[in-house]
Homo-oligomer: A and B are copies of this chain.
Amino acid sequence: MPRPRKPKTQRAATLADVGRAAGVSAMAASAVLNSVKTSSRISEETRQRILEAAAKLQYRPNAAARALLHRRMNTIGIAAILDENELNHYFLALFNGVLAGATHFEQNTTVFALHDWSNDTRRLDSVCDGRIDGLIMFAPTYDAAVAKTLPKHTPFVTIHANTPLEGTVNIESDEEAGANAMVEHLIAKGHRRIMHIAGPKGFVGADRRVAGYRKALRAHHIKFDPALLVHSQFIDFHGYRAMKTWLEENAGQPLPHAVFCANDGMAIGAMQALAESGLRVPEDVSVCGFDDTLASRASVPQLTTVRQPLVEMGRKAAEILLAQIGTLKDVQVPASPVVMPVEVVERASVGRCPAGDRVVPALARV
């Protein structure tokens, strides 16, 4: 059985170690290893000796020492609510985008997992201590008062901020237009009795989708039916429970033609609840989501949804943040908010509205 590596790892070599090994000063070693012009004065033979010593000692310029000098860690931070027990495709998409953007400019990315925006303020604060050059917040729900306490020496960018932070660029998408287009699409497929499982009241992301939903109904003279609007949370399980509860409470009532969910996870949850009542998607009921996360392609049938360019939004956030930090000289910091376009993506979960009215089955099949 292989023995584990000894706990005490050897110390990393310093410039002084390299110099000593090569019989030169630390400074000479530094000059050679950074290929400074002045190193042209150093003989080729010495240069080789230094390079060999550095390779042999696995020398790497110490990041902390460099950061101290340059006041820059070449690292950006991400703060997000991250619960290890929940599906979070939204996070995964944004994260991939930020990572791609940061990596492209040779910057590292550190992730801070929060449980709660209000209570974890101090944790975020404490992290603005030079270990990151700037911070991107995913869907923060700070209120304005708390936001004021954020450190002034660290630049921020937010994505989908619930209340914009003063002096901070917020990146969002045209959610109302997206919801409106989605419901227009349902109506074009013949659906009239359209249910909406919304996000929590008071969250702009939820409210804007409701607004788009109602706008589309209005445009087609479909009377808004409060019984068809249910508020839930942006989490798979809550979509399931909202749909399940609704079906139980509305047994014998007319079945909706289509269910528009405020995000993909909720739509998948709703599909599961429908399946448990023996209802097929899209033959009996059409279902659609919002976001176009990877979840929308992982479901069977694949989900018709509104695409928000999440990866792109993450990448853009990284770019804007790096511009603010000053790492990217040639990128202009845009005015806030930056609004990204959305589009309806047709997949398999929405069909033509079936002929004849159906009724919510009385008993769940389970």
State the A residues within 8 Å of B (CB): 1-13, 58, 60-65, 67-68, 71, 73, 75, 82, 84, 87-88, 92, 96-97, 99-100, 103, 108-113, 125-131, 151-156, 164, 166-169, 236, 265, 268, 271-272, 275, 281, 294-295, 297-302, 311, 323-326, 333-336
Contact = CB atoms under 8 A, between A and B. Distances in A.
B300 A63 contact: no
A287 B12 CA distance: 51
Nearest to A348: B275
A61 B129 contact: yes
A323 B126 CA distance: 24
Nearest to A109: B111
A275 B338 CA distance: 40
Contacts of A131: 63-64, 73, 75, 108
B236 A297 contact: yes
A257 to B, nearest CB: 19
Nearest to A271: B300
A18 to B, nearest CB: 14
Contacts of A301: 275, 300
Nearest to A275: B300
A323 B8 CA distance: 10
A247 to B, nearest CB: 15
Contacts of A7: 323-324, 326, 333
